[in-house]
Amino acid sequence: MKYFSWRAALIGLVLIVSVIYVIPTFKPGLWPYKKINLGLDLQGGMHLVLEVQTEKAVESTLERIRNELRDLFRKEQVRHQGIEHSGKTGLLIQLADSENFQKDVEKIDDLLETNFGSDEIVSDSIDSATKTVKLVLKDKWVQDIQKQTVEQALETIRNRIDQFGVNEPDIRLQGERRIQVQLPGIKDTARAKELIGKTALLEFKMLDEEHDLGAALNGEVPPGSVVLYSADEAKDGQTGKKQPYLVKQKTEMTGASLSDARVQIDSQFNEPYVAIDFDRKGARDFERVTGENIKKRMAIVLDNKVYSAPVIQEKIPGGSARITGSFNAQEARDLAIVLRAGSLPAPVEIIEERTVGPSLGRDSIHKGLLSLIVSSLLVLVFIAIYYKVSGLVADLALVLNILMIAAGLAMFGGTLSMPGIAGIILTIGMAVDNNILIYERIREEMRLGKTPLACIDAGFDRASITIFDANLTTLIAALVLFQFGTGPIKGFAVTLSLGVTASMFTALIMSRAVIDYLYATNRMKTLSV
């Protein structure tokens, strides 16, 4: 019959599309559609939110400028008694010469202009009484630094995780300075956190051999030097103590010019070490630095821990070095990964963590499915008893509804979380409302003594406006939730919206078509509602 054929065609189409999208979840690889993703709470895994400490990046930029200014002042003969940090974005220069104060100030401005550009750092206040000049970083530039820092950190973390090998990791920016990392199915969470959070700043610094280490340890650290400790405990008998080194503050080279890092095994001690290669520029620098410091000791420092401090025997050309330490094979492998992926431009701090073990995830799936099955059965049986034949039609609608939610999840690449399962369960209870509205209306029309077909017509027509309205309010709430919710709650909003939308289709189009078919074709003479 022409009357309902367009509905039948539409239902057929929806059914086929739904099945096409749902099947890969149960039989992966049958055709190239995606499976429904399980949320971290169901398959186990780790969710981290990291905060990039961008102010540290600003601080180190300021420190770099301070060092460069010192060198420039020496060259240009600006006499000063020190350059100190002032606040988070400023430097305070204490000039020495009171007669030449004005000239010095002008010279500083010139130096700033030529060496840094006026959009980076400018002199902010000049005090001739105390002979001080205050420099500040421009706000815009500070923001640029912070933005770049976060972007670079995101890139670095992404590289590290790629090399670590996790299935379908999700790494994204959250807000201005936060990075959200989701690692589904990961078991060794400690190792992953170590790998993500390690700053991995590799520095080559000269040891300060002119001054006494003992005095430095007693608090008399010579200017321009600093005490750093070894990464592992000293091997020379003093167990439990880390070996101190007196190291010059100046960094000769960093790991930024690395081209490769890989694990190798020392043939003599059978211990793994990390071999590093420099790029062209790095190799030249390394050759120069080693050439200038023959017979001196150079410390290889990673995140402010000294890994080794060998004596430079001769100029080293070719650009390769090795980092030794008492690594086990895995530690060496992870170190190679972080060195290859590059250092983080600023430290990161874990400010949110949600880790679910795989056993709890499985447990949740079982409980979720059990609730889903029991509640569906209760509702299906109840509706079938209550509305008889029409009740079975409503049941059919409900089953199609669940199928459509599943297909929708697969289609839009949604993630099924435990709250998402709760959303489906709730949808079952609420979707049946549409059919109830229609059937109650039909019953009322029947009491007025109308013919079955007229009752069906009036029932569907009158109920449909109410159904649209009623579902729209749930949809509003679900959309707001989606907009503001995080993680699993979003999953709930998704399944709820899918369920509400699907339920309108199953009630108004599908149920209508089936009921029309049953009665309009005279298969059933009396209404069974």
Residues 410-449 that bind another protein (CB under 8 A): 418-419, 421-422, 425-426, 428-430, 432-433, 436-437, 440, 443-444, 447
Choose which of 385, 413, 525, 526 interacts with another protein (CB under 8 A). Answer: 385
How far, in Å, CA of 448 to CA of 464, rounded? 20
Would you count residue 389 as binding another protein (CB under 8 A)? Answer: no
Q: Please say which residue, 160 or 193, places its beta carbon nearer to another protein.
A: 193
Q: Among all chains, which residue has been given the structure tokens 């001196």?
A: 296
| Shortest Å distance, C-beta 325 to another protein | 17
Would you count residue 386 as binding another protein (CB under 8 A)? Answer: yes
Per-residue binding letters, 261-280, with another protein (x by CB under 8 A): --------------------
| Shortest Å distance, C-beta 474 to another protein | 4
Nearest CA to 427 among 510, 506, 511, 483?
506
Which parts of 469-528 interact with another protein (CB under 8 A)? 469-478, 480-481, 483-486, 488-489, 492-493, 496
Would you count residue 161 as binding another protein (CB under 8 A)? Answer: no
How far, in Å, CA of 304 to CA of 317, rounded? 26
| Shortest Å distance, C-beta 155 to another protein | 22
Q: Please say which residue, 1 or 465, places its beta carbon nearer to another protein.
A: 465
Would you count residue 396 as binding another protein (CB under 8 A)? Answer: no
Q: Please say which residue, 269 or 468, places its beta carbon nearer to another protein.
A: 468
The answer to whether residues 338 and 156 touch, using CB atoms and an 8 Å cutoff, is: no
What are 511's two structure tokens? 């149920």
* Selected range binding another protein among 66-74, 98-106, 339-347, 350-358, rule: CB under 8 A: 350-358
Per-residue binding letters, 37-76, with another protein (x by CB under 8 A): ----x-------x-x-------------------------
Is the CA virtual torsion 316, 319, 322, 323 positive or negative? positive
Would you count residue 353 as binding another protein (CB under 8 A)? Answer: yes
The answer to whether residues 275 and 320 touch, using CB atoms and an 8 Å cutoff, is: yes
The angle, 0 to 180 degrees and rounded to 10, between the axes of the packed helices 418-447 and 487-505 is 20
Burial of residue 355 (number of CB atoms within 10 Å: 0-12, 13-18, 19+): middle
Would you count residue 100 as binding another protein (CB under 8 A)? Answer: no
**Which helix or strand (DSSP H or E) is residue 427 part of?**
helix 418-447
Q: Please say which residue, 309 or 438, places its beta carbon nearer to another protein.
A: 438
CA 371 vs. chain centroid, Å, equals 32
Give the 3-state DSSP-derived string for 156-175, with helices as H, strands as E and coil as C: HHHHHHHHHCCCCCEEEEEC
Which parts of 164-203 interact with another protein (CB under 8 A)? 189-190, 193-194, 197
Q: Please say which residue, 269 or 484, places its beta carbon nearer to another protein.
A: 484
Would you count residue 357 as binding another protein (CB under 8 A)? Answer: yes
How many residues bind another protein, per CB under 8 A?
A: 74
Spatial CB neighbours of 18, under 8 Å, sequence gap ≥ 6: 400, 403, 404, 406, 407
Would you count residue 360 as binding another protein (CB under 8 A)? Answer: yes
The angle, 0 to 180 degrees and rounded to 10, between the axes of the packed helices 54-76 and 139-164 is 120
Which parts of 12-41 interact with another protein (CB under 8 A)? 41
Would you count residue 458 as binding another protein (CB under 8 A)? Answer: no
How far, in Å, CA of 197 to CA of 85, rounded? 27
* Selected range binding another protein among 137-145, 211-219, 323-331, 466-474, rule: CB under 8 A: 466-474
Q: Please say which residue, 265 or 479, places its beta carbon nearer to another protein.
A: 479
Q: Please say which residue, 49 or 93, places its beta carbon nearer to another protein.
A: 49
310: three-class secondary structure by DSSP: coil
Spatial CB neighbours of 369, under 8 Å, sequence gap ≥ 6: 421
